[in-house]
Structure 1
């Protein structure tokens, strides 16, 4: 098996398993443990996984955000609820920003009933969903494509955002600690901050599992958003911190 095909196979296995040991991977792909270590080193250097004791993981940490494909499979029902609820914040004729996150990205499939709309996004999944859709004026942000985040970032994307204005922006974040949002990647943080500057109204969509996590880079205080949408009420102590900080929290329960 060629190394690039084997590495793709390792990533596909991790998409389902979340993490794996070197011994298991060596047995699965019929190669030596040394070969597996070289594959994992290469994949880690490319930012697709993180090596842990005895193996590798694609699960997030304070320094590592998961691959877009893995995040799409996490808390799917809750993310769908949040996306459906977020549509109530949009009116026909508005300009809407949707970020690279898998949670905010789920809004795209709900926009047909709100046309006409102008949609600005660096999220390739959103761009593919809306490309050619009638009544949707789609503005795809340029920049350097990130396979890991399935979106566009960097100087070109940032320059575009600085020249645009929108009625509403929907963002996601990988970690909520206290009353602040954090993310592991500084380019992603910069893009999200510029989206917030460009929009009159701002909403954060995060599944309940993001609370109590932290990441390397501070994104913003949660009070900067008109509302934070989540699918399950946080623990009382967490809720008290949010209330004290003036955070508008909307809990979108099942059946609501």
Structure 2
């Protein structure tokens, strides 16, 4: 029995949610329909604003083609980021050294780290440095280098060289997008390079990401999904994604 458009629509969008992109030939085999039918379905879904057609298939629509400014991002998904920050801070143990990359999600860890006096915090993020100097009771190490005024963080070869000097317990890494096809990605190459190096210099690489990042692919690749040790997300994360992540042997922690 052939599938109705609504059935095909659901399967196409579910596949798009997990992969971030779909291909006409693969969908034709998956749905047991002709490539012409798939193309018509993609046309309809594009008109609905559900996807954007590209050569040979389609990609997920992005709400933002470029990353919003840091100050604006502090107010986006605020409740979810606070829950994630609290959960992330809860796994930091006394005596550990941790790295925080430059994001509004890792920034939300700081209020819950204020009593960790025997923890060393390493970051290249100027907003995290500023807040840590006001609230954090442990040791702070700032990764120097040229400060990128747009990103509000130190980046470049000097920052990269400083990272080589450290081996830490945990690195908390944020993302621009997460997809099965492209792994963990960021909007900015300079940020992706630093995040990737932080993962390499840590015993545990911990990904902190709210549910809006899943199924998205952004400009610069940070790492493959199976290179992380743990995912910390919010309760809005789709169950399909949690099951997929856990199937890779990665622990999932939900911030409440």
TM-score under structure 2 normalisation? 0.70
Equivalent residue number for residue 73 of structure 1: 75
Unaligned runs of 5+ in 2: 1-62
Tell whether 2:250 aligns with 1:228: no
1:1-256 map, 5 Å: 60-61=64-65, 64-131=66-133, 135-178=137-180, 180-253=183-256
Check conservation: 2:171, 2:199, Cα contact below 8 A. Answer: yes
Between 238-247 and 209-218, the greater mean CA deviation after superposition: 238-247
- Return the offset for 1:236: 4.3
Structure 1 pair 234/135, CA: closer, same or farther in 2 (3 Å)? closer
1:128 and 1:183 mapped to 2: Cα distance? Answer: 23
The aligned length equals: 193
TM-score under structure 1 normalisation? 0.70
1:80 and 1:223 mapped to 2: Cα distance? Answer: 25
RMSD of aligned C-alpha atoms?
Answer: 1.9
Task: Give 3-state SS (helix, strand or coil) of 1:131's partner.
Answer: helix
CA deviations on 1:57-94 (whole Å, 9 max, x unpaired) are xx632xx2221112111011110111111112111221
2:77 and 2:209 mapped to 1: Cα distance? Answer: 10
Q: Which has the higher contact order (CA 8 A, sep 6+)?
A: 2
Unaligned runs of 5+ in 1: 1-58
